[in-house]
Structure 1
Amino acid sequence: MREGPGFRWFRRGVLTFLTLITVVPLYVVVSSSVKPLADVQGRFSWIPREVTLSPYVDTWTTVPLARYLVNSLIVAAVSASLALLVAVAAAYALSRFTFRGDRAFRLAVLSTQMVPGMLFLVPLFLIFSQVHTWLGIRVIGTHAGLIVTFMTFSLPFAIWMLTGLFAGIPREVEEAALLDGLGRIGVLLRIVLPLARPALAAVGIFAFVIAWGEVLFASVLSDADTRTLAVGLRAYITQSTVLWNELMAASVIASVPVVVGFLMLHRHLMRGLGAGLR
């Protein structure tokens, strides 16, 4: 079907608008990160009158940015890995076996996606506080507490996405492998996971991004030693001033790991999202 000239111009207009609302904020952030503070606080100019890299140098000493960066990497990488591991086991069981309560479990997984995440803040805080009171195990202000918290956000989506993907893999392939002597775990590791590699990449990136950019839970459940990068950016805002150029420079630095991950796994990510939507 051939598109008419009216639809062609409409499509171009929509794409141009979407490009502008994406590119313009990115340009403002990057351009502000190479301006002196006085220029950022003054009248906005699209082209910097003076370009300096001092914000990218000073941003590491103004606040402990390196510590925040390491904390975010630890929490995001571990929570994404554990969520992927648990989701693979749960999704394979849901797609291959029937057991009592499986429908209720599926409903519970889907229902968590419909509840605002903010409603989990107080219950999680109370649970973590009681764990410290009853068992003497400190959870609030630790990496472990943040990892468990972020897993609760990414795990339901990961299970839902991988369940549909595993269900689409022909059972005949697994049955042939079982006849050749492979057990269920061997079939999962040697047959299913290689076929599901694109979806695994997509789920892993999704879980990593959730943990990397989360602010509300990280601000409540962390302390000065475990503060993540997304929360640490607020340290550039003081009672007397806002270090806008250093804040923009830190924001650019914070986006680098996610952008690099997307670029490295772009092909797998697109294939994985396509498989999850089918």
Structure 2
Amino acid sequence: MSSTSVTRRRSPNADPRSLVWTRRVVLTLLALFALVPVYVMITSSLKPLRYVSGKFHWIPSGLTIRPYIDIWTTVPLAKYFVNSLIVAGTATVCSVVIAILSAYAVSRYDFRGKRVFTVTVLSTQMFPGILFLLPLFLIFVNIGESTGIALFGSRGGLILTYLTFSLPFSIWMLIGYLESIPKELDEAALVDGCGPLGALFRIVVPAAVPGIVAVAVYAFMTAWGEVLFASIMTNDTTRTLAVGLQAYASENNVYWNQVMAASLVVSVPVVAGFLLLQRYLVAGLTAGAVK
């Protein structure tokens, strides 16, 4: 009787084989849903153009690496790559530095308007990005006409544009993370002779590396793949990768194999950075959630 009672007690918690196979089928379908487009991109990027323009064949033939060579000469992809790297990198660094200082002030000090500031920062995420397109365009044009500072069509204007979107969420996310770090660490640093900035950069910043990495990845991805503002706020000199991919479509033809090859090349920095920083990213997004 004892064995029967043990079996009855364990049966509700046991995992039935049908449930296990259901999970396997669902996960397999989700994996196929995610990997099939990647497979199509990879195989199409390795085919001559005549094989890509026609009917798609799941088993490719006549594979070649020529599209990966031609993508650099068909359009000035290297220049677009440099523009994207400068814009996304600068926007990321500025967003991280400003977010660290702002989040530290909000999480450690009480001041008038603190709640209004945090609510305002969070409320900016409710508005769609296209809502700011015309106002930013008019602001940049008026600044250029009145001061001579060319923001429209420049990398600096595009960096300010991306800061408009990445900075509020970065500040809000870092506030929650820094609040999970005990204030006693700051107090101990102040007792040892550090000033507020010394306590921030020597004590708090090393302890907040996962949150900072999560903010940096978010800011970089926001700037790297953005299309709408990059297509309006740039010209032939400052065009970024996300917009430059359109140049593979001419009046007479679309170089689909080169489009796929260039798309894979563009995605390499983001994918590589995500894989390298994945553990910091997960920790940064989850830590401080209870706060």
Q: When the two structures are superposed, what TM-score results if normalisation uses the length of structure 1?
A: 0.97
User: Which position in structure 2 is the counterpart of 1:173?
Assistant: 185
User: Which position in structure 2 is the counterpart of 1:248?
Assistant: 260
Identify which of 211, 214, 237 aligns with 1:199.
211
User: Which position in structure 2 is the counterpart of 1:54?
Assistant: 66
Residue 198 (structure 2) pairs with residue 186 (structure 1): yes
Compute the displacement of 1:17 (Å).
2.2
Unaligned runs of 5+ in 1: none
User: Which position in structure 2 is the counterpart of 1:163?
Assistant: 175
Residue 167 (structure 2) pairs with residue 139 (structure 1): no
- CA–CA separation in structure 1 for the residues paired with 2:43 and 2:102: 46
- CA–CA separation in structure 2 for the residues paired with 1:16 and 1:131: 54
- CA–CA separation in structure 1 for the residues paired with 2:27 and 2:40: 20
Compute the displacement of 1:37 (Å).
0.3
SS at match of 2:274: helix
CA RMSD of aligned residues (A): 1.2
Q: Percent identity?
A: 54
- CA–CA separation in structure 2 for the residues paired with 1:209 and 1:93: 26
User: Which position in structure 2 is the counterpart of 1:94?
Assistant: 106
Q: Is the 8 A contact 1:132 1:138 kept in 2?
A: yes
Compute the displacement of 1:261 (Å).
1.2
Compute the displacement of 1:9 (Å).
3.1
Q: Is the 8 A contact 1:199 1:272 kept in 2?
A: yes
Q: Could you list the per-position Cα deviations for residues 123-156 of structure 1 after superposition, in whole angstroms to 9, with x for gaps in the alignment?
A: 1111101101111111011110010111111111
Compute the displacement of 1:274 (Å).
2.2
- CA–CA separation in structure 1 for the residues paired with 2:110 and 2:26: 46
Which deviates further from its counterpart, 265-274 or 143-152? 265-274
Identify which of 123, 130, 134 aligns with 2:135.
123
- CA–CA separation in structure 2 for the residues paired with 1:123 and 1:265: 36
Identify which of 77, 94, 103 aligns with 2:89.
77
Q: Is the 8 A contact 2:177 2:284 kept in 1?
A: no
Aligned residues: 278
User: Which position in structure 2 is the counterpart of 1:234?
Assistant: 246
Q: When the two structures are superposed, what TM-score results if normalisation uses the length of structure 2?
A: 0.92
Q: Is the 8 A contact 1:33 1:248 kept in 2?
A: yes
Report the residue type matching 2:195 in the other structure.
Answer: G
Q: Is the 8 A contact 2:180 2:287 kept in 1?
A: no
Q: Is the 8 A contact 2:53 2:256 kept in 1?
A: yes
Identify which of 43, 53, 56 aligns with 2:55.
43
- CA–CA separation in structure 2 for the residues paired with 1:25 and 1:47: 14
Residue 22 (structure 2) pairs with residue 10 (structure 1): yes
Compute the displacement of 1:240 (Å).
1.4
- CA–CA separation in structure 1 for the residues paired with 2:101 and 2:263: 36
Q: Is the 8 A contact 2:186 2:203 kept in 1?
A: yes
